């Protein structure tokens, strides 16, 4: 596969997707946000970041804005949360979901923000760096806009940790290898690199927590894992050509027996700007 083919992920440029695809991806983001395992990841990040009343926080790559609105409840009316996303369609969707909390929505590229330096007490960036071409440049921007003593909280997936049980190992290996081949190397292992990136960038008090998400049935897994979601089109990266029907028959059979298992580690890494 040519590098150019690998580099485009739908989330890297949502606005260039057909409108139905953008709507499907936004609905997927919201469903993920309601999933108990993603909520567990976010609780871990919230405990690491410890937002305080009156703080000014940035949600970089804010998607539909759920986390920004959650952070707003923590900073209260004396604080403010800026929800920034590169996709105008996504920001429009987030504005539609606005609940009156202290969130300001704006479009912008996390790698080149128009926001002033040292203007935030903390930055949250969840499942975004895997979609940008230069994660360290984006991280430098997040550090630039954070005041000394403020926190940067990164959340990202380690797609290389994805594993299945209850389905034939040969077939699971084929599906996982196919997915890895569709992803850029930095998207595959972004989660586990976050600690190193924050240390290299000079942040202090770096903490790194791997949260291993456990999916005990196909329906639960399908919310987060496209290769077990039957509504994700094959061409949208999910399963290798020619094995889709066989794969889903084994996934469904494991689900019916009750022994389907998928695991995926998402990392929560926080550091303090010095």
Q: Report the interface residues with ligand SAM, using CB under 6 A.
A: 11-12, 14, 29, 33, 61-63, 85-87, 90, 109-111, 126-128, 131-132
Dihedral class, residue 188 (left if φ above 0, else alpha if ψ from -120 to 50, else beta): alpha
User: Quick one: 110 or 175, whose CB is closer to ligand SAM?
Assistant: 110
User: Quick one: 128 or 203, whose CB is closer to ligand SAM?
Assistant: 128
- Report the candidate in 260, 172, 246 with the shortest Cα–Cα distance to residue 218: 260
CB-based closest residue to ligand SAM: 63
Residue 186 in tokens = 């930095």
Pairing of strands 261-272, 204-215: antiparallel
User: Quick one: 63 or 79, whose CB is closer to ligand SAM?
Assistant: 63
**In angstroms, what is the minimal distance from the CB of 115 to ligand SAM?**
12
**In angstroms, what is the minimal distance from the CB of 121 to ligand SAM?**
19
Residue 195 in tokens = 């600690």
User: Quick one: 11 or 247, whose CB is closer to ligand SAM?
Assistant: 11
Q: Judge contact between 107 and 85, C-beta under 8 A.
A: yes
Q: What is the largest CA-CA distance in the chain?
A: 56
User: Quick one: 29 or 262, whose CB is closer to ligand SAM?
Assistant: 29
**In angstroms, what is the minimal distance from the CB of 267 to ligand SAM?**
13
User: Quick one: 14 or 72, whose CB is closer to ligand SAM?
Assistant: 14
**In angstroms, what is the minimal distance from the CB of 114 to ligand SAM?**
12
Q: Judge contact between 32 and 226, C-beta under 8 A.
A: no
Q: Judge contact between 209 and 48, C-beta under 8 A.
A: yes
Q: Judge contact between 108 and 141, C-beta under 8 A.
A: no
**In angstroms, what is the minimal distance from the CB of 171 to ligand SAM?**
27
**In angstroms, what is the minimal distance from the CB of 181 to ligand SAM?**
20
Phi and psi at residue 44, to the nearest 5°: -60, -45
């Amino acid at each position: 596969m040519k590098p150019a083919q690998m580099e485009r992920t739908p989330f890297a440029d949502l606005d260039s997707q057909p409108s139905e695809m953008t709507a499907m991806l936004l609905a997927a983001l919201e469903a993920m946000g309601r999933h108990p395992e993603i909520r567990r990841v976010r609780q871990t990040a919230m405990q690491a970041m410890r937002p305080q009343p009156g703080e000014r926080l940035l949600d970089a790559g804010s998607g539909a804005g759920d986390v920004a609105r959650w952070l707003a409840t923590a900073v209260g009316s004396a604080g403010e949360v800026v929800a920034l996303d590169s996709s105008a369609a996504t920001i429009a969707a987030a504005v539609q979901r606005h609940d009156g909390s202290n969130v300001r929505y704006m479009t912008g590229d996390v790698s080149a923000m128009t926001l002033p330096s040292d203007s935030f007490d903390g930055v949250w960036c969840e499942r975004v760096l895997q979609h940008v071409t230069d994660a360290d440049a984006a991280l430098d921007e997040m550090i630039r806009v954070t005041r000394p003593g403020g926190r940067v909280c990164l959340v990202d997936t380690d797609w290389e940790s994805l594993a299945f049980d209850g389905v034939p190992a040969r077939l699971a290996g084929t599906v996982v290898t196919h997915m890895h081949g569709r992803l850029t190397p930095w998207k595959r292992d972004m989660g586990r690199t976050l600690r190193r990136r924050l240390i290299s960038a000079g942040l202090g008090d770096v903490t790194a927590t791997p949260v291993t998400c456990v999916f005990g049935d196909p329906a639960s897994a399908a919310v987060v894992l496209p290769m077990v979601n039957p509504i994700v089109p094959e061409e949208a990266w999910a399963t290798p050509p020619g094995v889709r029907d066989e794969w889903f028959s084994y996934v469904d059979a494991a689900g019916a027996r009750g022994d389907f298992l998928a695991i995926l580690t998402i990392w929560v890494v926080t550091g303090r700007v010095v």
